[in-house]
Amino acid sequence: MLRKIIHIDMDAFFASVEQRDFPELQGKPVVVGSSSDRGVIAAASYEARKFGVRSAMASKVALRRCPKLIFQKHRFEVYKEVSAQIREIFFEYTDLVEPLSLDEAFLDVTENKKGIDSATQVAREIKQKIFERTQLTASAGVSANKFLAKVASDQRKPNGMYIIRPKDVQAFVEQLPIEKFFGVGKKTAEKMHLLDIHKGKDLLRFDLPRMVHYFGKAGQYFYDIARGIDERPVRPHRERKSVGIENTFGKDLIDEQQIKLEINRLKEGLAKRLSKSGKAGKTLTLKVKFDNFEQITRSKTTEQLISNRLLDELCTDLLAEAPLNRPIRLLGLTVSNFNTEKETDALQLKINFED
């Protein structure tokens, strides 16, 4: 059976919520984040994006690009509430909902609760209901698999919808710039350019062994998506693999006592998040980012679940192992290895915004 997959992506979600709740901001270049020298942009309105302002950009760079930029302090609880409203709409159509973040999700509507045969109609109804209930717009991509639906949702933003029908898949993928392939980051794109790969059609020159040779495990994925193939199912229950907390500091930490004080604060926050999540793990990871943006991590794994007492001991050990002889921009702690799982590349609960 041909699958019917929808990718819903809210348009400039955090910034759009701010513009909705504060009408005086509508039509203006708005960002969510701090305007301090060490601030980072969490989200940018489309008016701000016209100036080249993007999420994850340093605030001082954003201000140079748009001196009239309006900064709004984040309101994560509000964003979570709105996200929950939107997911309620998704579940009216299907239980096969895979959230990627607060503002986007995959839906498998091959068999849906409304009995609607057209995935396009489902996407159109969902977009309309989102607007009616939240006064926010969303963009939708509709196709036969997750890769195609994700790429499609980026084609007509904001407030658009794009359908990639089975008969059009190969032609669409072949003309798609490699930078727009879901899963191709900056470094991978640069490597592909060195191999004279610029569009999807260029990937077709490489057989599977060569793709694996150049890109390792990701080679199989790139080989498949170049042919419009993506067998990954929509997974409604994405189990959390780690719980973490991190903080970017307004001023670099240079003193040992400052570092220990901040680690203690992180430990307290991490303990609260672990308690709230009901999770316990066996691996603790310390993350350090220095003033030159170089980043290191140190981890320790125990045979028993990490208690508060053990958390103190592990932090002391990790601090002793890490070369903390340079100014520190960021510190983070993550507990992972739940239920004997060994993976640590999972959900991070981050604090990246200065109050």
Tokens coding 76: 């994560």
Q: What is the dihedral of CA 233, 234, 235, 238, to 10 degrees?
A: 120
Give the three-class secondary structure for 61. Answer: helix
84 burial via Cβ count (<10 Å: 0-12, 13-18, 19+): exposed
**Residue whose pair of structure tokens reads 């969902």 in the numeric block:** 126
Cβ count within 10 A of residue 182: 16
Alpha-carbon distance 149 to 7, whole Å? 5
Q: Which of 18, 47, 104, 246 is catalytic?
A: 104
Active site residue 341: no
DSSP string, 8-53: EEETTHHHHHHHHH-GGGTTS-EEEE--STT-BEEEE-HHHHTTT-
69 burial via Cβ count (<10 Å: 0-12, 13-18, 19+): buried
Cβ atoms of residues 242 and 346 within 8 Å: yes
Q: Which are the catalytic amino acids?
A: 104
